[in-house]
Amino acid sequence: MPSPQALSVRSMLQQLRASQNPAEQSLEAQRSGLDQMGQTIPKPDHVLVERTSFDGVPGEWISIAGAPTERVILYLHGGAYYMGSCESHRSLAWRLAEASEARIALVEYRLAPEHRFPAAVEDAVKAYKSLLAQGIEPNRIAIAGDSAGGGLTMATLISLRDEGTSLPACAALLSPWTDLAGTGPSMESRAPYDPWLEPEGIRKAPLLYCSPDQLTHPLVSPLYADLAGLPPVLIHVGRDECLLDDSVRLYDKIREAGGEAQLHIWEDMWHVFHSFPIPEADEALREIGTFIQRRIPR
């Protein structure tokens, strides 16, 4: 049974979706709306934020006062590749920093449609390499991301593997968007239960980022990639989201390729529920934090 807080947020999301038509909103309005949603959890004083650049990719170092900083998470925000920023994801990042006892490199990769594929992948790879250039060992780094950032996390791992760069210790994916072609059965079967996303919007958004013939490119939709030789991956997804099968099929493919993967399907939850001030999100972030700590021990 979902918590009262989760039921309240679900109702809010349903009302928001009913009152807003993304097709009628400007990009600026959609970006501003996501930024505002990300600011609903105030930042505590013990959370430290330092604006910086990761080899030209803007972002922030987010850390917890007095906490060790040897464990690093490169975090790639969601937002369908055309929204998202440090403003929209800072609260999720500092909560993950607490749960994992790590500092977070939260980056702002270039967004579509101003910068289309492969700009986001190039920036994520560049940000990861900047961490290595700072002397951070790859076995002290995790990569994590939600939604489009989850798909981008996979694309980054694939790119690093293919070019022979040392891979991070592990990766965590929060409701990853891994099939921009939108072929998963859950796109339709879970639509009646999804309080936030709907199939039509999910299938339109990718065309801001890539051309129709690129929808199944392995760095656009990692579900179609060779997934062998990657570090351990933890995948979280809500049972009630249209993108459920983006996670389930990715998990199956990683395992089929001989990789290590864990999949947790959260009952009664929606897309990137981790972002919201609900007990289920706190529990999920603790699980991610434990996963990362076990693979990057002190």
Nearest 5°: the CA angle 160, 164, 166 is 70
Q: Answer yes or no: 241 catalytic.
A: yes
Catalytic residue among 60, 98, 241, 280, which? 241
CB-hemisphere CA count at 13 Å for 17?
15
**In the chain, which ranges are continuous DSSP H helix?**
4-19, 27-37, 86-100, 119-133, 148-163, 186-189, 199-204, 206-209, 244-256, 279-295
Give residues with Cβ within 8 angstroms of 189, minimum separation 6: none
Structure tokens at 132: 């290595």
Compute the distance between CA of residue 260 and CA of residue 192 in angstroms, rounded to an integer.
32
Catalytic residue among 100, 147, 175, 221, which? 147
Nearest 5°: the CA angle 132, 74, 291 is 110
Q: Answer yes or no: 271 catalytic.
A: yes
DSSP 18-41: HH--GGGS-HHHHHHHHHHHTTSS
**Contact criterion met (CB below 8 Å) for 99 and 67:** no
Compute the distance between CA of residue 135 and CA of residue 149 in angstroms, rounded to an integer.
25
For residue 107, list its beta bridge partners: 59, 76
Centre a 10 Å sphere on the Cβ of residue 68 and count the other Cβ atoms it contains. Answer: 11
Catalytic residue among 77, 217, 271, 274, which? 271
Q: Which residues are catalytic?
A: 147, 241, 271
